Amino acid sequence: SPGDLRMAVKLPDGCDLNEWLSENVVKFLNKTKDLYGLVCDCCTTESCPNMSGGTGYEYHWADGEKYKKPTPLPAPVYIGLLMDWAEALINDDSIFPSDVDVPFPKQFAATVKQIFKRLLRVFVHVYYHHYDEVKQIEADWHLNTCFEHFHYFVNEFELIDPKEQEPLKDLTKQLTLVETLGKGLWV
């Protein structure tokens, strides 16, 4: 139930905050990747020439390396780059130390926030552009539960600027109307 998820995100007693963030960023990256995998056949450069959320939001990719300036890209290209970028970060031992005796680096929190901020964009894209396909394969409950968990987690630790979450406000209202089966999500 929503109450359980709300509790599940809290820092467990005796757990180090960075350890908890680290464990969860990996978990949410994998979940987001799996969810996108459900619709990736329908998310093509033709169907989604921009990384958008409805008509109101468009995201441009920059990684400071190949894409030095924010660059408009088709959604599947953007999401592929995003996943590779996040995967490389969590596998980078200098940012996510695998040895518990090695302290987390100074930029750890900022890196975690950036990963969550970008993962949110995948949810935004899927909700705005692929929700019908998600419903068709009856994965909407799964998507909504994962997103709800994500939403509680990022808000518990203030990982995403409320401004970045604006695209979902309108959507939350819409989905509340759509999800009238009393599942209790989105409240």
Q: How far is the CB of 108 from Zn ion (least distance, A)?
A: 31
What angle do helix axes 75-90 and 17-39 make, rounded to 10 degrees? 150
Q: Are 84 and 98 in contact (CB under 8 A)?
A: no
Instruction: Give the nearer residue to Zn ion in terms of CB position, either 48 or 112.
Output: 48
Binding site for Zn ion (CB under 5 A): 43, 48, 75, 129
Q: How far is the CB of 181 from Zn ion (least distance, A)?
A: 26
Instruction: Give the nearer residue to Zn ion in terms of CB position, either 2 or 54.
Output: 54
- CA dihedral 173→179→184→187, nearest 10 degrees, is 0
Instruction: Give the nearer residue to Zn ion in terms of CB position, either 75 or 159.
Output: 75
Extract the tokens encoding 143.
């998507």
Q: How far is the CB of 57 from Zn ion (least distance, A)?
A: 13
C-alpha span between 20 and 5 (Å, rounded): 15
Instruction: Give the nearer residue to Zn ion in terms of CB position, either 24 or 52.
Output: 52
| Residue 165 per-residue DSSP state | G
Helix intervals (H) in the chain: 2-8, 17-39, 75-90, 108-129, 131-136, 140-156, 166-178
Instruction: Give the nearer residue to Zn ion in terms of CB position, either 29 or 43.
Output: 43
Q: How far is the CB of 81 from Zn ion (least distance, A)?
A: 14
Q: How far is the CB of 80 from Zn ion (least distance, A)?
A: 12
